[in-house]
Amino acid sequence: MVFSSLTFVCLFLPATVTIYFLSPSRYRNLVLVVVSMVFYAWGAPLALLLVLFLIVANFHLGRQIDLSSGRGRHIAVVVAVSLNLLVLIFFKYADFLLTNLNEVLALVSNWRVPLPKIALPLGISFFTFHIISYLVDVYRGSVKAQQSPSAFALYVINFPQLIAGPIIRYRQIYDQLQFRIVRFVDVDAGVCRFTVGLAKKLLVADPIGAIADQVFMVPPGQLTTGTAWLGAISYGLQIYFDFSGYSDMAIGLARIFGFRFPENFNYPYSAISMQDFWRRWHITLSSWFRDYVYIPLGGNRHGPWKTARNLWIVFVLAGAWHGASWNFIVWGLWHGLFLWMERLGPVESMFTRSPPLLRHGYVTFVVLVSWVFFRSPDLGFALHYLARMFGFGAVDNGLPLAVGVSTPMAILMAAAFCVSLPLWPRLRAISERMSAGHVGAIAIDLTRAALVTAAMVLSLATMELEQGNPFIYFRF
């Protein structure tokens, strides 16, 4: 079940909200746990058994860490974190690791290790990171271990963030797991935020993504340079509106039930450095790696070379987190390269003197190139595609630039690019200043209500029961 389906919007969500608010306060966590299990089992019934096992195991492991001290406490957290990492490696990386092992074995023998071909449980990268942050925070003493099984289960399996984040730290919501007050303003804000995310997904990401899909289905040797760039730009817009749309929906849904989730995007395509980009893109992932990998490794405290080492480690892991494929690892290395270069003295000095527009163009170029690695089925395809983007290699019956780009689609892409920049907050601030007073506030509220209603109606009109495109980050 996906948020952008009629089943979810017209059946699951209304039923969940009704049951939740009719239930006594002391049972509401349990209600959300049960409906979250139904939500997850809808598309992955067997994987639910894995999630339940991890919930039970880590509930007890967290309490054991909390009760231990000294060396025993350290051993307990190492065992607990290792268990979760081994589960993630087994389900997500076993085939990748064994495939590469077989390529090495091919150099010396004809024997091969059989591939297990294990199905990837939905959202395993996300809920594994949720659990690890909980275990580490308990070990550090930042929080006490959760004593309520239903509250801990809700932290892991809460359906708004279960499949594709945001990545929630336990310490960010531990008080909300115990007690929440839901007011009308929360429901109103939640519905509006959910509708914005739904419109991003259905009205922007999916139509533009159709162009990216069409271009990336063609062998790179049949692409003109212009068409290759069109595919990269289309995918850059698609993945932003797809993923930020999902985050908006998750944050909005959580708000309806009284949770306040952290923001996950802050107009990343307005960044003027790669460091700035990663402060704006998938914020909960980059901050997770900062706090649980980069800083424990030493961060930038031990000189430029160790800082570079720590950056490379973080972004190799970030690439691997996204997928068990060499193109994701190269994607991470590509980002790590520019983050490292920006810290070099001469480059940093040049950056401070460069005009913001030039810096923005540099970030846009680096990010668009990186999306080719992200979107391509394998590393070889990505390298051939990049060759075509920069005019290398012969073209065999090149696909024309105008493929699939009608005038309405061109307008949509231009509008999407404008919306991806922080223009709306500025326009809203200007309108609030110009509309000061009670009458102005009413006008703004009515305008917002009209826009939200129109977005919801248009989104519902585009839905086909259980046939919508899944969110890109579902496969991570």
Instruction: Give me the percent of the chain exceeding a pLDDT of 90.
Output: 64
pLDDT band for position 327 (50/70/90)? very high
Q: What is the pLDDT of residue 422?
A: 87
Single pTM value for the model: 0.92
Please, which residues have CB within 8 angstroms of residue 119's CB and are 6 or more apart in sequence?
Answer: 47
What token pair was written down for 5?
């389906």
Using CA atoms, how far apart are residues 38 and 411, in angstroms rounded to an integer?
40
The pLDDT, as a whole number, for residue 72 is: 92
Q: What is the mean pLDDT of residues 24-30?
A: 93
Residue 45 pLDDT level (bands cut at 50, 70, 90): confident
Report the first-to-last Cα separation within the chain, whole angstroms: 16
Question: 170 with 155: CB under 8 angstroms?
Answer: yes
Over residues 264-275, the mean pLDDT reads 94
Q: Where are the alpha helices (DSSP H) in 106-224?
A: 124-140, 149-157, 159-162, 170-178, 184-199, 206-216
- Name the amino acid, one letter, at 446: L
Domain edges within the chain: 6-179, 183-476
Question: Is 322 designated active site?
Answer: yes
Catalytic residue from among 130, 282, 322, 360: 322
Q: Kindly report the CA angle at 18 between 15 and 21, in degrees rounded to 5?
A: 145
> Is pLDDT at 467 greater than 60 in this prediction?
no
> Each residue of 401-417: pLDDT tens digit?
666 678 888 899 999 99
Q: What pLDDT was estimated at residue 466?
A: 46
